[in-house]
Structure 1
């Protein structure tokens, strides 16, 4: 097992690549590429209530650095323009354990890996059994009001998370939805001042 800087070993890393080249009878140019990297770790608080979850937050930094780097290598040579994050907590843990690992500490690692980003990072957490499915929301990394980039990636994790594990997930995408046409702020109009417009 790979040891993280905060002492929370990564047991497994899962990766996913989804490339859309055609949608609704039209070519997607350039293709929409979405990638996800997932770290499976043991949950030190499975089966018991602990008030202070800060050790999970601290551990998320090193875990995030590793899986974000892996995800962006999968995306290369394309650049990430949108992102999202998620966690599935095994059934002996709490949903809050996943939230503790997706705070600003993890978010800042995601932003840094993508070369910056001003927008709040969409997220999803849940409890689940091995083989759980999760929808990870995506939004533009610099402006939440860019409707064309409201999207998501659906993952099914083989044999994870087990009851005493947590799956931490980082997702990046290269562009907005194929054939988007519901208006709103376009990516070319982003001001990048506040993460909204």
Structure 2
């Protein structure tokens, strides 16, 4: 049984950087799905996990297209569960099964994908974290995308699943640490 996608949407933010730095593009792709466990307790959430793969593939494709051919350096994921569900429902849908299509869509990635989930009513704001796709400890890429859901989303029986991408780190990042230019090789470091 597949997750029922009720709608999807995309946001794109472009920021001009001073001093000749490359502009920053942040993208959020959101799919609103019917929560098959809304209103009842379900012990085994593995079917939701398995069914999330198709949603992950869709969101990865939409997000990469919205990047407009820019290189992708950062990613993240998030979810908002409507109030007839449990926060655990979004976590069940945002596992490796959901995320692996995103890794493939961005040309392969080695780092853990940061995520954030919550239970909330419609129209809520969620800050979805970003981190470098190949090495978690690249401080310049610790960032996020703020997504405000529409005033009727999520409905009590829905879950909003979110994928975020960015083409670079924060504008003006200068707190030191591992640099994106120092990443490479099998273990993510040169």
Deviation at 1:29, TM superposition (A): 2.5
Q: TM-score, normalised by structure 2?
A: 0.95
State the distance in 1 between where 2:68 and 2:58 align: 16
Offset at residue 77 of structure 1 (A): 1.6
* Aligned CA-pair RMSD: 1.4
Give the structure 2 partner of residue 16 of structure 1: 11
- In structure 2, the gaps of 5 or more residues are none
Aligned length: 189
CA distance in 2, matches of 1:96, 1:196: 34
Deviation track 1:39-98 (CA, whole Å, cap 9, x = no partner) reads 001101111110000111111100111111011101022021110000000000000000
Query: Cα distance 1:85–1:30, how it changes in 2: closer, same or farther (>3 A)?
Result: same
Alignment of 1:89-104 (within 5 A): 89-104=81-96
Kindly report structure 1 stretches of 4+ aligned residues shifted beyond 3 Å: 191-197
> Does the C-alpha gap of structure 1 residues 32 and 174 become closer, same or farther in structure 2, counting only changes over 3 Å?
same
Cα distance in 2 for partners of 1:148, 1:65 equals: 27
Matched residue SS, 1:45? coil
Is 1:67 paired with 2:47? no
Contact 1:138 1:150 in 2 (8 A): yes
> Which of 104, 110, 118 is matched with 1:118 structurally?
110
Distance of 2:50 and 2:153 partners within structure 1: 23
